[in-house]
Structure 1
Amino acid sequence: MNHKHHARGAALLAAGALALTACSAPASGGGEDGEIAGELTVITQRTDLVDTVFQDYKAEFEKKYPEVTVNFEAMTDYEGEIAVRMNTKDYGDVLLIPNSVKPDQFATFFEPLGSVDEMAEEYRLVDEKAYDGQVYGVSITVNTQGLVYNKKVWEEAGITDLPTTPDEFLDDLRAIDEQTEAIPYYTNYADGWPLSQWDGNRGAMGDPAYQNTHVAHSDTPWAEDEWHGISDGLLFDVVAEGLTEQDPTTTNWEESKTLLGTGEVATMLLGSWAITQMQQAAEDAGGSAEDIGYMPFPYQVDGTFHAQIAGDYKNAINVNSDNKAAARAWIDWFAQESGYAYDEGGISPLVDGPQPETLGDFEEAGVEYVEMEPATAGEESLEADVVEASEIDLYGQIYRQELVDVARGAADGDKESFFADLNTRWAEARASIAE
């Protein structure tokens, strides 16, 4: 699993897999007296890097902290596998906070790292995995959101300007379909998780408070003028017009990188973390990294593109760890010294960290970054609660796979009926929580 999801303070339907009684009081051990020593197990989702780049990290960290031995455990299905492990105390010393843990569960599973005010002096977006004023995770990198695309294909189709509306984006995909041999858009339906990336573009609305004033506060998030109606509506239209792969059930994530790199696929909506992977795929296939571009979501407010920035997965400490001091040292070292974020084309999790060269396209397009405001006090889990009660995996893939099926005629319904059903279920969930 060499992709990286943007991770927001929210819960997937998988939350039920985590038993709140699974963890008891913290175990005593090397971390209790502040000694940076012991055997450290770090769990990661980067199966592609664990035997290469991460071994370099191990060597550098152990050189700085010779009393620590670092061991890695990589999980292919991170969300699914870690949820099972977290029903025990044995889920490593350092792990990535899974999306299935709701904010009011953080203290049950993770060691607090410090107050929001204290941590915010050094790290970005600490509020994303905070609860009751305490921070529980530090981002491994910070992503922005948009679409990765093959510039040569778009140019071959005669497209010279970035699309500024969903309708213009559709026109551009139609031109690619007519003028080139490329698949205009690739859903990655079969792997599923890429469809979850569509939720990460809320910042395109240009309103840092959007999710606190809409979404969980709306009975109709799939209305035409609300974010999910705009974004999911665009996905529906792209599929319904046949501008995607012929059979979405046969898509393949690893293959898709080569397809986009070689120009067989023109466009995919993915976080900025994907840029370097697509560039590498282009070069591996004999092409050029310069063919890979990154465009903002096709929506403007007052003539300006906006793009949400959000932390990726967050490194956290198992509340049961015997080596909490070493675990904390790893988290800080990873953010401050490993170079992971920069090397992966991400924005640094450090407030004063370096900016990546990979986002030059955004700078040229005049994109303004939007850091979404944290939930208001007392509503930290509101949206996650509505997601759970509605059984709509807003941050996942299931309902968007259903959307694709309806759009391509493989399931009953149409755009209007599908969105009406989502709105009804969402409104009923909101009402049940308010009771």
Structure 2
Amino acid sequence: MDGDYTPETLDAINAEFTEATGAEVDVQVQTWDGITTKISTALATNTPPDILDVGNTQVASYAANGGLLDLTDQADDLAQGHTWLDGLVDPATIDGQLYAVPGFAGARAVIYNKQMWADAGVTAVPTTYEELTAALDKVKAANADTSDFSAFYLPGQYWFGGLQFVWDAGGEIAEQDGDEWTSGFGSPEAIEGLEAFKEFQTSYSSAASATLNTLEPNQNQIFADGKTSAILNTNVSGILTANPEMTEDDLGTFPMPGLSGDTQPVMLGGSNWAIPAKSQNSELALEWVKIAASPEIQEDYVYGVDGWIPNSSEGIEAAQATLSDVKKGFFDAALNSKATPPNPNWTTIESNKDVEGLFSSIASGSQSVEDAAESFDTAADQTLNGE
């Protein structure tokens, strides 16, 4: 997919593959616009591509109708002794069977303004939830005269951030029992997480942000303009673009601490390699995917050239020695990851923006935590079960 891997990385994989097999590779880079329809159409033919680069949360929808090759028997060989990140392998595992191989990840971490925190008397990076809220209390007090200031800008619709509180409390988005799916936001654990999200959001993010998402207004611009001291995001490039006077030295990153005592689980973005069930060259495709997922390619190219988070915990550990300070928080955050349910109908819930509505209604107070969770679960149960 466009923007996933650099030509240098793909060339390295192809060169190793051709040397090992003698076969040549025809790489066709696709744009994201209309890609779901394009892939679904290709999978229905007798001559689909031999390998697909797919978003980690898209695997279930393509596997649902038998479109992808079951890789379960090859999983150990493809993993090559490494432990794949949960946020990549879990959404590729449907009913206990593996349908795609982790390629790379992106994770969310706290990004903070070092000078703003120092001016408020915060000099140590928080490692616990209590240390984080204590730091934010100081920042909030130091900027009390700044209108619309957020110590930590966390807009209400930002469900990626909200989910971290739910997962940290032990809640789940949904669970499967046989063929039946049950949405989980009404569980005691999820309710606890939703209440923690509401308390944090209303304490440290502006009142106006309760019904907003991250793009309008853009949270990077809010940070760049000095209207917040911290955000939760996947990289710092948007901030540096929004304010060219800022450099990486002005910024710090760390995994979001949780009330659990651990870092909050993050939802990984990322990409997986899948092989269509009707591939005419499945054995060669398996060899290519094994090379793409190998520790060497992951360390030297996926991380070394492209800058992505590698597909395994061992890959992250190998990268630590050469990570810049500002990147370290994202890589550390990825070590505790989860994903959306491996249900082909989950994409409908995302596209309907029901989950944004859940968190926003809680942040704004338009619904109680319990009522918002019940409303979401009722609708989600029907969607997840195809009713």
**1:150 to partner: Cα distance:** 2.2
**1:285 to partner: Cα distance:** 1.6
Match of 2:263 among 306, 322, 325: 306
For the Cα contact (< 8 Å) 1:153–1:176, is it kept in 2? Answer: no
1:38 corresponding residue in structure 2: none
Match of 1:204 among 148, 152, 168: 168
SS in 1 for 2:42: coil
1:400 and 2:356 aligned: yes
1:17 corresponding residue in structure 2: none
SS in 1 for 2:27: strand
**1:96 to partner: Cα distance:** 0.9
2:101 corresponding residue in structure 1: 138
Match of 1:175 among 124, 134, 141: 141
Q: 1:68 to 1:310 in 2, by over 3 A?
A: farther
1:122 corresponding residue in structure 2: 82
CA distance in 2, matches of 1:87, 1:332: 24
Match of 2:12 among 54, 60, 64: 60
**1:349 to partner: Cα distance:** 1.6
CA distance in 1, matches of 2:6, 2:140: 42
For the Cα contact (< 8 Å) 1:89–1:320, is it kept in 2? Answer: no
Q: 1:297 to 1:243 in 2, by over 3 A?
A: same
Q: TM-score, normalised by structure 2?
A: 0.66
Q: 1:415 to 1:168 in 2, by over 3 A?
A: farther
1:82 and 2:82 aligned: no
What amino acid sits opposite 1:352 in the alignment? E
Q: Deviations along 1:58-103, whole A, 9 cap, x unmatched?
A: 33234334442443424345xxx33222431267531214635537
SS in 1 for 2:195: helix
1:23 corresponding residue in structure 2: none
1:331 and 2:289 aligned: yes
For the Cα contact (< 8 Å) 2:256–2:333, is it kept in 1? Answer: no
**1:196 to partner: Cα distance:** 3.2
CA distance in 1, matches of 2:95, 2:133: 42
2:115 corresponding residue in structure 1: 152
1:290 and 2:249 aligned: yes
Aligned sequence identity (%): 14
Q: Which has the higher contact order (CA 8 A, sep 6+)?
A: 2
Kindly tell me the number of residue pairs found equivalent between the two proteins: 352
- In structure 1, the gaps of 5 or more residues are 1-43, 409-413
Q: Which moved more, 1:152-161 or 1:220-229?
A: 220-229
CA distance in 1, matches of 2:58, 2:203: 30
Q: 1:232 to 1:428 in 2, by over 3 A?
A: same
Q: 1:429 to 1:244 in 2, by over 3 A?
A: closer
For the Cα contact (< 8 Å) 1:184–1:267, is it kept in 2? Answer: yes
Q: 1:149 to 1:368 in 2, by over 3 A?
A: same
For the Cα contact (< 8 Å) 1:261–1:279, is it kept in 2? Answer: yes
Q: 1:350 to 1:342 in 2, by over 3 A?
A: farther
Q: 1:131 to 1:368 in 2, by over 3 A?
A: closer
What amino acid sits opposite 1:54 in the alignment? T
**1:164 to partner: Cα distance:** 1.8
CA distance in 1, matches of 2:53, 2:61: 16
CA distance in 1, matches of 2:382, 2:159: 28
2:310 corresponding residue in structure 1: 348
Name whichever structure is richer in helix by fraction: 2
SS in 1 for 2:144: helix
SS in 2 for 1:171: helix
Q: 1:117 to 1:203 in 2, by over 3 A?
A: farther
What amino acid sits opposite 2:38 in the alignment? R
Q: 1:330 to 1:188 in 2, by over 3 A?
A: farther
SS in 2 for 1:305: coil
1:423 corresponding residue in structure 2: 374
* 1:15-54 alignment runs, 5 A limit: 44=1, 46=3, 54=6
Aligned CA RMSD, in angstroms, stands at: 4.9
1:269 corresponding residue in structure 2: 232
- In structure 2, the gaps of 5 or more residues are none
For the Cα contact (< 8 Å) 2:108–2:235, is it kept in 1? Answer: no
Q: Deviations along 1:227-273, whole A, 9 cap, x unmatched?
A: 23323553455556346899977324xxx546646756432223xxx
SS in 1 for 2:110: strand
For the Cα contact (< 8 Å) 2:103–2:272, is it kept in 1? Answer: yes
What amino acid sits opposite 2:291 in the alignment? W
2:193 corresponding residue in structure 1: 227
SS in 1 for 2:7: helix
* 1:161-172 alignment runs, 5 A limit: 162=126, 164-165=129-130, 168=134, 171=137
Q: Which moved more, 1:334-343 or 1:218-227?
A: 218-227
1:9 corresponding residue in structure 2: none
**1:423 to partner: Cα distance:** 2.0
What amino acid sits opposite 2:122 in the alignment? I
CA distance in 1, matches of 2:83, 2:153: 35
2:29 corresponding residue in structure 1: 73
What amino acid sits opposite 2:162 in the alignment? W
For the Cα contact (< 8 Å) 2:53–2:273, is it kept in 1? Answer: yes
Q: 1:342 to 1:175 in 2, by over 3 A?
A: farther
Q: 1:367 to 1:62 in 2, by over 3 A?
A: closer
What amino acid sits opposite 2:66 in the alignment? T
For the Cα contact (< 8 Å) 1:275–1:294, is it kept in 2? Answer: no
**1:200 to partner: Cα distance:** 4.5
For the Cα contact (< 8 Å) 1:94–1:327, is it kept in 2? Answer: no
